[in-house]
Amino acid sequence: MKRLTLICFFAVASASLQAESFSHIARTDDNTLNDLVGRLPLIFVPNDREARRLSSVQELLVIHEMKMRGEGLPEELASAFSANYSRILSALVEDRIPEDYGRDLLAVHRELLYQTHDWMQHRSREKEFIGDVLENLEFYQDELAQNSITIWEVPDSLRTPVVNGYQVWVNEFLAWGCECGYLNPGTQTRVQRLVEDLSRFEGYYKRDGVMHPHEREQLHERFLETTRETIELIGTSRGYTY
């Protein structure tokens, strides 16, 4: 298998092939970023301003996710990228892989995707490139299968899909915001610190192999506070007001 170099630069040109519509993908894939945000408890939105901020964040995540699932690529490539993205998100939300490993897989996914878009813009495309990309995605999916545990091996008392979902969509938003310049460096640092603090508290409650009801409640109290602050920071990062 030819392992693709993760950094390539090509001349810019137009690409006309389109991927399957996101509306179809969103209906068939579990754990979309929008679904993860949608799991936030209703008590999180106490007023119209916060509702508008949350809605705007959801829309930006939809745009990011369409790209991560291969928007604008030939159908074969788009389907492969979408499947890879879904498997990584599901493994993270379901506590089947460590957070650091999941972030590494998402970083590799983004690099492969960016290289593919560069190839699409190149006038003289290498015919074997699509096969190489598909082989690379298959390789990392096999690696994920080998390094993840089954859902049955995760004790129910330790499963935190709502909290994990927050960590996933915020980290993806940070990755997108850093690349496109939507988030200023100060906001990036503050939001990243919020994610790390929540992860640290989650690890503290889970370290003895059991999370008691009062510990889960305390974790979610911090989770709600963290989510409110995250939305506030993102919503005002570029000076926008609602």
In tens, the pLDDT along 126-137 reads: 778 889 999 999
Range of the domain at 199: 22-37+45-235
Mean pLDDT of 36-57: 64
Residue 5 lies in a domain: no
With 60 as the cut, is the pLDDT of residue 145 above it?
yes
Q: Within a domain: residue 175?
A: yes
How far apart, in whole angstroms, are the C-alpha atoms of residue 4 and residue 134? 11
> Greater confidence, 21 or 198?
198
**Crossing angle for the helix pair 48-68 and 99-120, to the nearest 10 degrees:** 60
Residue 181 has pLDDT above 80, yes or no: no
C-beta separation of 36 from 168 below 8 A? yes
Q: Answer yes or no: is 7 within a domain.
A: no
**Residues 50-106 pLDDT 10s:** 677 777 778 888 888 899 999 999 999 999 999 999 999 999 999 999 989 999 999
Answer whether residue 46 shows pLDDT above 70: no
| 4 lies in some domain | no
Confidence band of 22 (pLDDT split at 50, 70, 90): very low
Q: Which residue has the higher pLDDT, 22 or 36?
A: 36
State the total domains in the chain.
1
Residue with tokens 């998402």: 106
C-alpha gyration radius of the chain: 19
Residue 36 has pLDDT above 70, yes or no: no
pTM: 0.77
From 15, 1, 10, 239, select the one nearest 115 (Cα to Cα).
Answer: 10
Q: Confirm whether 164 is domain-assigned.
A: yes
Residue 9 lies in a domain: no
Q: What is the pLDDT of residue 186?
A: 87
Mean pLDDT of 152-174: 89
70 or 228, which is more confident: 70
120 within a domain of the structure (yes/no): yes
Question: Higher pLDDT residue, 155 or 242?
Answer: 155
